[in-house]
Every structure is written in C-alpha cells, then in structure tokens.
A and B are shown apart, each in its own frame.
Chain A
Amino acid sequence: MNDALFAQLSTLGSSLALLFGITLLWRRSLSAYISAFRWQSAALSALLVAIGYLGDDPELYFVAIFFAALKVIALPYYLTRMEKQLGGERESQPYVNVATSLILSGLLVLLAYAVTRPLVIVSTLPTRGGLPLAVGLIFVGLFVVVTRKKALTQIVGFLVLENGIALLAALATFGIPLIVELGVFLDVLMGFLVMQVFVYHIHGTFESIDVDQLSELRY
C-alpha cells in the first residue's frame, strides 16, 4: 500500500512539475515565466519532502529546505528584480512559435518515454513512473533554452533544465548525499550569478536582452 501511494505521489509530483514546464512555453511575459518556475520549484520541494518521508531518508528534508530557499524564494526574487530593471520585455517572437513549440514539447516528452523505457522496465523503484517525466522536463528545459530569444527566458529555461536534473536525481536515487546536493545548489547559484552579469552586459551594450542581436557585428 505504501509503495503504491509512493508511486502515485511521485508520478503526480513529476507530472505537476512537467505541467508547469509546459505552461512556461505558452506564456509570453517574463513575469509569467518566473512565476511558472516558482510554482514548479514549489511542487518539486513538496515532492522532495514526500520522497524523504516515504523513502525514509531524513536528509532529503534538508535538501528540500535548501531547494525551496534557493529556487522558490531567492532565484525568483532576483529574476523579478532583473526583469524590473531591464524593463518588462516580452518573449514576443521566439524562434519557434508557441503552437509549434507546444506540439514539439509534447513530442519531446514522448521521446523521453521512449528513451527511458528500458530503464523503467528493469527498475524496481517505486518512483520509476516519474523517471520519463523527469527526463521530459530536462528536454523541455533545453528546448526553452534553444528556442527563446530573450536572455532572461533562456536563464529560466536553464533553471527548468536544472530542476529536471534534480527531479531525476531525487527519483532515481532517493537523494544523493547532502554534500553533493549542496555543491549542485552552489553551482546553480554561481551559474545564475554569472549569467546575471552577462545579461546586464548584454543589456548595457545593446539596450535590449534579445540575444538575436548578438549575431550581428554592428548594431
């Protein structure tokens, strides 16, 4: 019974995370991207707590707390501040239009199901149902990074990708050792700060955060 509940909860949490990842593709304004990311991270930290409780691994509680502090509070706060400073630009013309990118993300999740199929079949973990969704979330995050033009939406895409990796790690191993998790969080934070510096420089030079303009020699 406990295993069945565990399986249900983990797939439910993973599909919620994927749901927010997909709504991200539909939205245009940067603040909508940020709030979708925030909700996704909140769903993931709740899932981490659930995995910690049902998988009997108290370390995951700490991971969940760090996760929530970093990705529900700190990063969205900085993102919102950046968005305000850079002026509310919208992701109005992504490289792939919205309807197509939604269909493509659906296909990407199908692909994730296909590539994780052998793994899911041999796995005996109660959380195996969520594995394809986590891989799908990674694909969707990568898709956001490559198809969106604004530097800020690309950062959000990167963070979604990272969320997918964290989800996959939590589902597949029930928590990597705490020290490794902390290292990963620090990495994300550093990566984010570096990107923030880049975004400010791009904005300072081009007066826009549209990375499309970077390919032109003169502006």
Chain B
Amino acid sequence: MIISYLLVLFKILLALLLAPGLVGYVRWLKARLQNRRGAPPWLPYYELSKLFGKEVVMSNNASWLFRVAPYIVFASAVAVTLLIPLIATDMPFDRVGDLLLVVYLLLLGTFFLALAGLDPGTAFGGMGASREMTVAAIAEPTIALAIFGLALGAGSTNLGRIVSATLAEPGVAISPGHLLAFVALFIVTLAETGRLPVDNPATHLELTMIHEAMVLEYSGRYLALIEWASWLKLLIFFALLANLFVPWGLAASHSPAALALGVIALVVKLAVLGAVVAIAETRVAKLRLFRVPELLSVSFVLALLAVTSSFLLK
C-alpha cells in the first residue's frame, strides 16, 4: 500500500521533472530542423530556477484572483497527472477519477488562466482570454469525445481500464475508432498546448498570440508556476496520446525492473511525439485566427466519427 503511494509520488516528480525537458527538446529539435543551432534542451530548467528567484511585480489593478490563479492552474495540472496512465497500469489513483474528471480539471486550469488574463484589465490579457476560451470551447468536448470513442470500446470511462482493454486485445489499436480518435486528439493537443498551427509558442509579442497574451502580466514565481503548468500540460497530452493509443511499454507490475522499463518507454514515446510535433511545426504556417475554429471542427467531426464507429461496430 505504502509502496504504491510512493510510486504515485514518484510519478508526479517524474512528470514535473520531464516536462521542462520535453519542451526544451521540442524547441531544440525545431531549431535544428530550421538550420539554427538552438538553445540547449535543458534551458527550460534554468528558466524555471531563474524565474523562481525573481521578485513578483504586480499591477495595482490586479485582485486576489490574479494571485491565486497560478496555484490553481499548477495544482489542476498536477492533479491531472495523478489520474492519467504514465509509467504503469493499475495505480491507486486510477479509481479516483475517470476521463470526465481529467477533461474538466484541464478546463479548470484554462478557465482560471483566462480569468487571470482578464483580471488586470490590460488589452492583451482580455484578447488572449477571449481567444483561449474560443479554442477551449471546441477543444474540450473534442477531447472528451475522442476518449469516449476509446471508452466505448473498453466499456469503461476509466483511463486505466481503457489501457488494459487495449493491452488485452491489441487488434483494436488499428480499428477506425482508434485511428480517427488519435487524429482528433492530436489536433486538439496542438490547440490546447498552444503549438503552431493555432498559437506560436516561440513568440512573446505578436497580435495573434493566445497563451502568451494571457500571461503577459505575470512575473517571478507566478510566471514560473504558470509556465511549468503549461509545459506539464504538453506532457499530459503527449502521455494521453502515447499511452491510450499505444499502451505497450506501460509497466504491468510494480517491480523495479518493470517500472524502469516503463520510464524508458515513456521517454521514448515522448521523444517520438516531440519529434512529430517539431516536424509538423516546421512544415506548417500559423493559421489565421478565424480559421482556427475550422481546424478544431475538423477534429470535432473526427472525434464524433470515432465515437460513432466504435459504438456501431461493437
């Protein structure tokens, strides 16, 4: 019992430690693909430690909401990490929450980030918040639908149960429901984590930015928490993509050897997905803001079809 809770602690620490590295790796790979030398992949760790050491500067108009929001955003991201399959199946928190809780915890973080963007009353913050809500309004139901497509096949909305159902019957991994749901979730991942066709993660001042516009007023440890949370969100989405659709490599038992293998499998999967995202970001240009809802409705329709086909072809 104690051991499995230690394992949960280890899982969270691992996610928190891997998240900045993952973002740094994607940035570095993207730079290499674009013929730039690029910052070293471990730069985000330095960024975090620098930001935690800086003092916080706040607008006079900012209310308590502005101060609370970073903690809520960070805590909701950490709470989601507890619930998703990361290195092993059958974790103690599997039974605490299912995919609906995951979706709404993610939305909770987005919601408070948008509120915090509105709070100081700057023009950029309000713009970023309204755009983020536009994206979230279509993206969140798509995540739920896409994972529902898998849940229908597995007969449970529990993420751990979905993983073990796919492990028990490997054939479903190439069923149309899984394929369509994967594409839908991949598009949503790009949108929700502020990657390229939707939002440019490499810019700090651009009229069409979304995530950066909301956090423009933050500094010091608040900014560090928000950035860390958004990197963690990238890791969460990658882990969902990797482990729900390709669950092989997840440790089935809690022995040290199996867990070590699980960690290695996770790192490999993250590296592969990171490479895919880096290549995709190098190849596509940013979409005009008004085309973003169109892209998201593509993913919504795909998720809808995924649910339909896994429902009707059972």
A interface with B by C-beta (< 8 Å): 4-5, 8, 11-12, 14-16, 18-19, 22-23, 26, 98-99, 102-103, 105-106, 109-110, 113, 117, 120, 129, 132-133
Contact = CB atoms under 8 A, between A and B. Distances in A.
Interface of A is mostly: helix
Contacts of A98: 291, 294, 297
Interface in B256-298: 291, 293-295, 297-298
Contacts of B183: 19
23 contacts: A8-B171, A8-B174, A8-B175, A14-B176, A19-B179, A19-B302, A22-B298, A22-B302, A26-B294, A98-B294, A102-B297, A102-B300, A102-B301, A103-B297, A103-B301, A105-B301, A106-B304, A110-B308, A117-B312, A129-B176, A129-B313, A132-B312, A133-B176
A98 B313 CA distance: 29
Interface residues of B, number: 22
A89 B174 CA distance: 38
Interface in B234-248: none
Nearest to B311: A113
Nearest to A132: B312
B180 interface: yes
Interface of B: 171, 174-176, 179-180, 183, 291, 293-295, 297-298, 300-302, 304-305, 308-309, 312-313
A117 B313 CA distance: 10
Contact of A26 (B174, B295, B305): B295
A105 to B, nearest CB: 7
A22 B301 contact: yes
B305 A109 contact: yes
Contact of B305 (A5, A18, A129): A18
A114 B298 CA distance: 21
Nearest to B138: A99
Contacts of B298: 22-23, 26, 102
A167 B302 CA distance: 20
B141 to A, nearest CB: 12
Nearest to A4: B171
A120 B311 CA distance: 14
Contacts of B291: 98
A183 B158 CA distance: 52
A109 B308 contact: yes
Contacts of A15: 176, 179-180, 305, 309
B312 A106 contact: no
A214 B77 CA distance: 56
Contacts of A26: 294-295, 298
Contact of B313 (A5, A11, A99, A110): A11
Contact of A12 (B174, B304, B312): B174
A4 B304 CA distance: 24
A97 to B, nearest CB: 8
Given A12-B174, A129-B313, A113 B308 contact: yes
Contacts of A133: 176, 309
Nearest to B312: A113
Nearest to A116: B312
Contact of A99 (B171, B176, B180, B294): B294
Q: Which 7 A-B pairs have the closest CB atoms?
A: A15-B176, A106-B301, A98-B294, A102-B297, A99-B297, A11-B176, A106-B304
Contacts of B180: 15, 19
A189 to B, nearest CB: 31
A110 B291 CA distance: 25
Contacts of B309: 11, 15, 113, 129, 132-133
B305 A106 contact: yes
A99 B171 CA distance: 33
* Most chain B beta carbons < 10 A, residue from A5, A11, A132, A133: A11
B302 A12 contact: no
Contacts of A99: 293-294, 297
Contacts of B174: 8, 12
Contacts of B301: 22, 102-103, 105-106
Contacts of A129: 176, 309, 313
A32 to B, nearest CB: 12
